[in-house]
Amino acid sequence: MIDSHCHLDHEPMFSDLKNVIIRSKQSGIEKLLSICTTNDSFKKIIDIIKFDPIIYGTYGIHPHEASSNIVSKEEIIKNVNSSNKIIAIGESGLDFYYNHSSKEKQISSFRLHIEAAIELKIPIIVHSRNAEKETFDILNEYKKSKPKILMHCFTGSTEFANKLLTLDSYFSASGIITFKNSTDLQETFRLIPNDKLLIETDSPYLAPVPLRGKKNEPSYIKYTLEKLADIKKINIDKIEKITSQNFNILFSLK
């Protein structure tokens, strides 16, 4: 299994990283991608990726942080190039659910991240909440440049997913697909092609059923994988192989 999105720099995982990684390996995880959200986050990630060979990282500014972490495209590229284990840009995108940052600053930041990802020819990990139209419209502007898009913790509509598929996007399923009230989302994932699916924990957030309400960690990803196998009516070993292969293809890893 591969956890395509976790935040190992967040507590309670950061101070217990050794045991988190031990439990991850015991559960069958072969790779972890620790996601950057701020410049301070990136300082920790640079140390975290040195901790164990299975850990990779990203550089990016979360939309909530777009006002307080102003970066240029050149800075994004420089940070990504600081280590060969920084394999993607993000998470970046648009979140209009809360008023953490102005829409204009989020959009400006998102564009810079997309342009840097295109220049470096690596994936951009996209956060989109209450911003389906704006997210698609901006990504679609760059269609000719063929950005490598991963929609993290996808909770969007089927219509949104279908539009994103025209951009050759990938979609990551989180523990939300295990929640009882997520039947619409489960149906959307049923319809997404198998070769576009990844899985994630988004830990320490969004622990899956039966651990909902607890602090999440990568080893809990097996519950999301089991649910995805059920949704897709596929043997769990097969969906594990599919999602891991998709991750390796998207991120150009073996």
- Confirm if 80 and 86 have CB atoms less than 8 A apart: yes
pLDDT of residue 67: 87
10-residue averages of pLDDT along the chain (254 residues): 98 97 98 97 98 98 92 97 97 87 91 98 97 97 98 97 98 97 97 98 97 96 98 97 98 94
Domain containing residue 71: CATH number: 3.20.20.140
pLDDT of residue 23: 98
pLDDT of residue 98: 79
Domain boundaries, position 112: 2-250
Q: Number of structural domains, the chain?
A: 1
